[in-house]
Amino acid sequence: MLKPLVTIAGALVLTVAGSGCVSMAEYNDLKARYSALSEKNMRVTEDLGRRNAKLELEVEKRLAQLQTKDVMLDAKDKELAAAKAIKEEIMAKFASLVPPEGSSGESDIEIGSNWIRFSGEVLFDAGKTDLKPQGKTLLLEVARELKEKGFYIQVDGHTDSDPIKRSLGKFPTGSNFELGAERALAVTLMLQKEGGIDAAKLHMVSWGEHQPAEAGNKRKNRRVEIRFTETDPYRVEGEK
């Protein structure tokens, strides 16, 4: 009775094999490969998701940068336009200090977009550091305008290249730096004490003979320049 059963079982195995079915070992192998591919597909999907998210973040970052640049450029344009308007207004008001075109001789006062130059002897007598009455009147008019606008101010003292002679006793070193500094100080104190400008907005510098306005023109090189800006030129970025 056993032989027929074995024969039948063998026939069944041959039938299953012939019908395309796989063995348990093959099935397990396929299952393992499918699982491995599924895991790999999941990792690839996750990686693509991360890359996509990174790309989206980068795009958003670039867009934000472009928007920031646009805002900054727009703000800069407005700032420049406002500064130009203020400077034009200042120049128009200070223009009354300048002699009309065609007048004889060189002008003792020149005006730029953010500076006023008092040259010659308009503020001081030769070799002196005491302001002349005429100079005080001019400086008070300038101070009124600069204070109204809240500008930061730098006063630059310049001299010609001649050695100090008339006031050598006051400047024992004979350095034009001393003369330039004393004149810049006199103007600075005038702007502060009588012009009412906040001392925290005032700076002074002496260039002596080393920054001539015009080579060989001693009269023009003996000068005091008042420079003004809306922001403190000596403030370090990020400093409180």
Q: What is the pLDDT of residues 4-30, one digit of tens each?
A: 444 444 444 444 444 456 688 887 888
Does residue 102 have a pLDDT over 90?
no
The CB-based long-range contact list for 123-127 (8 Å cut-off, 24+ gap) reads 123/183, 123/187, 123/224, 124/183, 124/186, 126/166, 126/222, 127/164, 127/165, 127/166, 127/167, 127/179
Domain positions in the chain: 92-98+106-229
Distance CA 159, CA 183 (A): 10
DSSP assignment letter at 131: P
Average pLDDT over residues 131-148: 90
Please state which CATH class domain 92-98+106-229 belongs to: alpha beta
Average pLDDT over residues 163-183: 77
Look at residue 5 in the predicted model and tell me its pLDDT. 40
Distance CA 197, CA 202 (A): 8
E strand intervals along 96-222: 109-111, 115-119, 152-158, 202-208
Question: Looking at per-residue confidence, does 126 or 197 come out higher?
Answer: 197
Look at residue 12 in the predicted model and tell me its pLDDT. 41
Distance CA 167, CA 52 (A): 78
What average pLDDT is seen over the chain? 80
Distance of CA 146 to the CA centre of its chain: 23
Does residue 234 have a pLDDT over 60?
yes
pTM exceeding 0.75: no
